[in-house]
Copies of this chain bind each other. A is one copy, B any other.
């Protein structure tokens, strides 16, 4: 077991019960305050540990990461020092904040410069994103979409159980939680017509996804195996893959989604390390037909992460519309990364790879309004009596996620995005 994951550790910093950020989590993000420029922080309870301050005060001097890597507006520089260096850093932070260690605990004059209140901080997009890839790895989601748009008897396309199907997405429009978006506009084809019209999307949707963020990979031409994949994954975050169903429907044949997706994708601000998630490994589904050797894997490579989606607006408080779980994935991250690189494609520090919509096996666990409202045929009632088939202007979509067992809870916080009218 990774020492910092020990569920019996307690911090001398007070952690509220059911916090997403106990001392066993220690996720990384970029924050600023009225006084502090953007820098690397680590969430601990309701506080943020300022790693730049921690470094400047000499607490990180035996590590391989120089302090200027923390005085940075993205995590990439820090990540460039390797997974092992970050593992050591996380262990050192754990050691400094555990209640059995007095080193920093008793230096109370350092506390105010090292520990920042989360409610005083502004969170930034934590990664300079290189390439962004979106997979399509939840069987129930692929099945639901296949049922709606093709044939329930042949809902999955022939390649789906052989390939973790994926496509390249738009990196520039990835935004952090709290950033409002405008309803996209574009070409759509009205029902039963042959000529497109232009206007704001009428079928704006969320997609509940998780994403992982990579370290630098191998040189172009080489591949990363399923056994090696963990070494190339820094951590994970919540991911809302905003989708304009009407724009997507008209454009996506034959080359895939483009403007129906590229207007925005929202991520949660704290990147939870893969190390912190190790206690929540579970086995995945049996894969039949048997996958090709390069996609086979050993040990448990799925993760039990409870997920939920809520909608709120000025007229009503948060209303949960879906409860799902990342464990429902058919293809795991190791398989996705092995597939992505099997042709020699290189990955870089800061690439983001998202799961695709995560839909569970029953109604109530579907990961998009398309599925929840079944193409608009089953509108969802909100607390103020209004109905939603898709997302309305003024709505905020909130996604949350956490892993838990009887000893420990490791959470992701939230990704919340408000939809403003078209410009």
Contacts and interface: CB of A to CB of B under 8 A. Distances in A.
Interface stretch (A177-185, A279-287, A298-306): A177-185
A185 B289 contact: no
Interface residues of A, number: 62
A342 interface: yes
A251 B159 contact: yes
Contacts of A113: none
A215 to B, nearest CB: 13
A165 interface: yes
Secondary structure of the A contact surface, majority rule: loop
A172 B346 contact: yes
A231 interface: no
Interface stretch (A89-97, A256-264, A324-332, A361-369): A256-264
Contacts of A1: none
A139 to B, nearest CB: 15
A187 B244 CA distance: 31
Interface string A346-364: 1110010000000000000
Contacts of A169: 168
A292 B196 contact: yes
B345 A423 contact: no
Contact of A342 (B130, B158, B259, B344): B259
Contact of A292 (B165, B166, B187, B346): B187
Nearest to A346: B172
Contact of A345 (B158, B173, B344, B348): B173
Q: Which of A157, A162, A340, A343 has the most CB of B within 10 A?
A: A343
A362 to B, nearest CB: 24
A162 to B, nearest CB: 5
Given A168-B170, A254-B157, A262-B168, A343 B186 contact: yes
Contacts of A250: 159, 163
Q: Which 5 A-B pairs have the closest CB atoms?
A: A256-B256, A168-B168, A184-B343, A167-B255, A182-B221
Interface of A: 130-131, 136, 157-159, 162-163, 165-173, 175, 181-182, 184-187, 194-196, 198, 220-222, 244, 247, 250-260, 262-264, 289, 292-294, 339-340, 342-348, 351, 423
